Each structure stands twice: as C-alpha cells, then as structure tokens.
C-alpha cells in the first residue's frame, strides 16, 4: 500500500512545477505586434480591406485570371458600344474592351504607387533617422531642405517637373515612363515621411534601453538597426500604407492632365483621361476605371486606418 502512495506523491510534485511554468508563460508580456494582430483580426474593416487588397494584387499580377481578352485589341466598329454580355463594361472610343483595360490597368497604377512609396520610405526613412540620431548641424540641414520641398504644392510640383521631363522622352519605353513618375512622386513626398521618422527616432533615442546599449559600448549602426528602427516602425508603416493609395490617386491626376503615364502604358488614369470629352456619349468608358481607382485608393486608406487604430495605445 505504501508504493502507490509514494507514486501518487511523486506525480503530484512533478505536476505542480509544470502548472507553475504554464502560469509564468501565460503571464509573459505580450509584444506590440501580437497585440496589434489580436485587435485587427476582430475588426471587419480590416478583413474587408484585406480582401479587396488581395483582389487588386491578383488583378495586377495575374490579369489573365480575370479576362482572356487583349486590352490593346481594337475594333473601331464597336467604338463606344455600351456594356453587354459580350463586353461587361462595354467598349471605349477605339473599340477596345473596357473591362480588359480596367483589369490590366491595375498593374501600372499599383506598381507606381508601391514603388513610389518604397522609394519614399527609403529616402525619408534614412534622412529622418540620420537627422534624429546625429542632430545638430545635420538635423538642421536635412530639416531645412525638407521644408523647401514641403513649400512646393504637390500637384504643382509634379506638373512643373513632369512638364519639363516628359516632352524630352522620345522612346515609348513603359519602364522608363513609369520610372520617371515614380521618381517625381518620391522626390515630392519624402519630406513628410522624414519628419515622421525623425519624430519617432527622437522619442525612442531617449529611452533607457538605448542609453543602456550606448553605455555597454554599442556603436551607432547597432543602436540604429537594433534598437531605434524596430521601435519606430509603427508610424512609418501606417503612413506608408496610406501613402500607397495617395500615390495611386496622384498618378491618375497627373495622367488626367496629360503629363503622367501615357501610352503604351495601360492605367486607370489614362483610361479616364482618354474619355473625359465623351462623358455624355460614352460615360461607361470612364466610369468603370474611375470606380476601380476610387475603390483601390479607399482600400489602402481603410487598411492604413485599421493598422493605425490597432497600433495606437491611446485607442486601446
């Protein structure tokens, strides 16, 4: 009778530390990104914007999944025909399928928006981190240069720069046309992100963990990449998500004015610009690209606001 009692006591003693360890693990502090995900997955606006984002990304990467028609194939006899079972969105002025051109137009618009945002993050992030970390004269120079760019209205600056560069391009190279627009958007937009990155890094620079790392002999590169950047990504991520939508809208605006993207590139802005004069006789040729453009911009804005609300500790 004594052996079973000893065995039960051993089992109870071995289970108690396991339960204690489980309690300790459950009480561990949660990370910011895990809390953010827990908040996001409970919000319908996040899932709606994410579903729309996946649709637009698939449309840009694999347009053949949505249509098998050639967006450049023209049938002049069907010019401005209204929507029908043969062509869901109808035909444009040159007899091209509007649905096919709307699907293929997502690629150029999204590529320009994402590329311009990445370049903006690179330029603004690097200058903002350097200005905040080294301060003094470098901060003063970068801040004054940024204020000079901020003094130029966004659309007006694009009109001036593209109005002088675009006519000089004689080669109808799609990559070159898109690269010029991306560069102009990034050059005009980097000061805002520079200020956001600078403010976030200044706030993180005075934290105790940064002072401890500096006291332990950590160099500037290790402090920046190991401590400052990871704790400054939240506002940069939120602004970048919203900026993609604003850049897509800016590209459409410049293309509408005739100085942004142009043929042979296919984009929503070009489709709208080609049919502004025919809004009474063929509104469908401009309506559907404009609808997809507005929905895409709204998708990135909703996604950025959902991430911002989840990352903001005051709202939690």
Task: Specify whether the CB–CB gap between 49 and 299 falls below 8 A.
Answer: yes
Q: What is residue 33's predicted lDDT score, i.e. its pLDDT?
A: 67
Residue whose pair of structure tokens reads 């040729």 in the numeric block: 285
Spatial contact of 271 and 286, defined as CB atoms under 8 Å apart: yes
- Residues listed for the chain: 316
Q: What is the pLDDT of residue 6?
A: 46
Model pTM? 0.81
For every residue of 230-274, DSSP letters joined together read TTTHHHHHHHHHHHHHHHHHHHHHHHHTTSS--TTS--HHHHHHT
Residue 53 has a pLDDT of 93
Q: Are 60 and 66 in contact (CB under 8 A)?
A: no
How far, in Å, CA of 190 to CA of 201, rounded? Answer: 16
d(CA 132, CA 235): 15
pLDDT in the model for residue 55:
94
pLDDT of residue 258: 81
| Spans of all domains in the chain | 32-311
- Report pLDDT for 298: 93
Tell me if 298 sits within 8 A of 246, measured CB to CB.
no
Q: What letter would DSSP give residue 87?
A: S
The CATH code of the domain at 32-311 is 1.10.3720.10
pLDDT of residue 50: 92
Cα(236)–Cα(228) distance, rounded to whole angstroms? 13
Query: Do residues 254 and 260 make contact, with C-beta atoms less than 8 angstroms apart?
Result: yes
Residues of the chain with pLDDT under 50: 1-3, 6-26
pLDDT at 161: 85
Q: Which residues of 230-259 are buried (b: 16+ CB within 10 A; e: fewer)?
A: ebbbbbbebbbbbbbbbbbbbbbbbbbeeb
């Amino acid at each position: 009778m004594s052996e079973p009692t000893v065995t039960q006591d051993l089992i109870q003693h071995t289970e108690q530390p396991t339960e204690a360890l489980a309690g300790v693990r459950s009480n561990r502090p949660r990370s910011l990104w895990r809390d953010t995900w827990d908040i996001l997955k409970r919000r319908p606006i996040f899932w709606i914007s994410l579903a729309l984002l996946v649709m637009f990304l698939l449309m840009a990467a694999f347009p053949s999944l949505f249509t098998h028609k050639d967006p450049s194939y023209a049938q002049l006899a069907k010019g401005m025909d209204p929507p029908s079972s043969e062509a869901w969105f109808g035909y444009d002025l040159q007899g091209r399928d509007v649905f096919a051109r709307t699907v293929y137009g997502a690629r150029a618009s999204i590529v320009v928006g994402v590329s311009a945002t990445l370049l903006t993050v690179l330029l603004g992030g690097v200058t903002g981190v350097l200005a905040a970390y080294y301060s003094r004269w470098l901060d003063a120079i970068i801040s004054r240069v940024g204020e000079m760019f901020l003094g130029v209205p966004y659309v007006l600056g694009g009109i001036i720069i593209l109005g002088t560069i675009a006519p000089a391009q004689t080669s109808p190279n799609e990559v070159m046309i898109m690269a010029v627009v991306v560069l102009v958007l990034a050059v005009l937009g980097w000061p805002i992100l520079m200020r956001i990155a600078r403010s976030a890094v200044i706030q993180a620079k005075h934290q105790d963990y940064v002072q401890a790392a500096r006291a332990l002999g950590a160099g500037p590169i290790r402090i920046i990449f190991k401590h400052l950047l990871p704790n400054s990504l939240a506002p940069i991520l939120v602004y970048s998500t919203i900026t993609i939508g604003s850049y897509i809208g800016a590209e459409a605006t410049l293309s509408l004015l005739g100085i942004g993207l142009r043929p042979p590139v296919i984009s929503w802005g070009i489709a709208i610009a080609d049919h502004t004069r025919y809004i009474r006789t063929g509104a469908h040729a401009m309506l559907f690209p404009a609808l997809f453009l507005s929905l895409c911009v709204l998708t990135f804005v909703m996604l950025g606001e959902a991430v911002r609300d989840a990352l903001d500790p005051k709202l939690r």
